[in-house]
Amino acid sequence: MTYKTILVHVDQSANSRARMQLAAELAATHRAHLVGAAMTGVSRFAYTNGEVTQLDPELMDYLARFTNAVRIRAEEALDTFRGIADKADVRSWEATLFTDEPESGISLRARYSDLAVVSQFDPDDANSTVPPDFPEYVVLNAGRPVLVVPFAGEFSQIGKRPLIAWNGSTAATRAVSDALPLLRQATTVDVAIFNAHDSVDHGNQPGDDLALYLARHDLPVVVHNEATSLNMGISLLSLADDLDSDLIVMGGYGHSRFREILLGGATRTLLGAMTVPVLMSH
């Protein structure tokens, strides 16, 4: 598997430039087509279902003025993306504006990409137009791997020292497979298994089967069997700090409100306190 199309969410949030620059670096590294997608914030269903035409004239006028204002903001954000893409050594790129809400729009466009790049939600960013569960929504609805970038810090390169959160689940398996293009540039791939005795999915030697699988991809692997009584997300972040990891790879799943997440809340914890980019698959 290779990444041939990389999608990045474009807006005017404080962390948007770092997110777009990282996406451009990844597209250059993988010789991929880069897509910058901005959203108006108005649901596409408001138009396709005819809801707009049913509004009274004053509301229609307000919606028209609102839509025009957000389109201007979106185009300004796309201008920033164009500047970044122009300077990056990418194979090709495009800047697109869609009439939709950020969460549903990015999820839809991600289905035509190999990787989607979004940011961690920043509750202190007044320019943010995404809901708090935006990253989770995209992970659970895109059907593609999603790279979530922390709102604090700069990340010009990732994947030299990745850390895989492994529990033998289908979601974790999908994440590892989806991350292979990034793992191939690693000097060391760390595999973290927490409280292996709590699961029957690991076999007699927890981590050995995954290590063998990755070794067949010519990847250098180190398995870390850890015991912890803490939240798995906290334990994973602590281990990532100890190992100087520059990427965490993990799976995620959830129900209708996206709050029942893999590893007993690890995803929620990571998305709230993440210090390095996290690649997640559902």
Residues 6+ apart with CB under 8 A from 49: none
Q: Residues 83, 12, 76, 47: is their CA dihedral positive or negative?
A: positive
The CATH number of the domain where 242 resides is what? Answer: 3.40.50.620
Would residue 18 count as lying in a domain? yes
Number of domains in the chain: 2
Among candidate residues 116, 149, 182, the one where a domain is terminated: 149
Give pLDDT, residue 265: 65
Domain span holding position 22? 5-149
21 burial class (0-12, 13-18, 19+ CB within 10 angstroms)? Answer: buried
pLDDT on residue 142: 95
Domain for residue 253, yes or no?
yes
CA dist., res. 103 & res. 275, Å (int): 23
pLDDT at 210 (0 to 100): 94
Q: Which of 149, 173, 199 is the last residue of a domain?
A: 149
Residue 154 inside a domain? The answer is: no
Task: Tell me: do 20 and 124 sit in the same domain.
Answer: yes
| Contacts with 231 (C-beta within 8 Å, 6 or more apart), sequence order | 264, 265, 266, 269
Same domain for 212 and 233: yes
Assess whether 167 and 276 both reside in one domain: yes
Strands (DSSP E) contained in 140-217 are: 146-149, 162-165, 189-194
CA 61 vs CA 2, 56, 65, 75: distances in Å: 47, 9, 6, 21
Let me know whether 128 and 167 are in one domain. no
Residues 99 and 15 in one domain: yes
Cα–Cα distance between 83 and 183 in angstroms, integer?
29
**Which of 247, 240, 251, 189 shows the shortest CA–CA distance to 218?**
189
156 belongs to a structural domain? no
- 87 part of a folded domain: yes
38 in any annotated domain: yes
Domain co-membership, 143 together with 182 = no
Same domain, 178 and 132: no
84 within a domain of the structure (yes/no): yes
Verify that 122 and 226 share a domain, yes or no: no
Do both 233 and 265 map to the same domain? yes
Q: Is residue 116 located within the same domain as residue 182?
A: no
The 10 Å Cβ neighbour count of residue 129 is 18
The domain boundary, picked from 103, 123, 149, lies at 149
Question: Can you list the residues of the chain whose pLDDT is less than 50?
Answer: 255-264
In this structure, is residue 157 part of a structural domain?
no
Check whether residue 143 and residue 12 sit in a common domain. yes
Half-sphere exposure of 124 (CA within 13 A, CB side): 4
Domain check: are 207 and 260 in the same one? Answer: yes
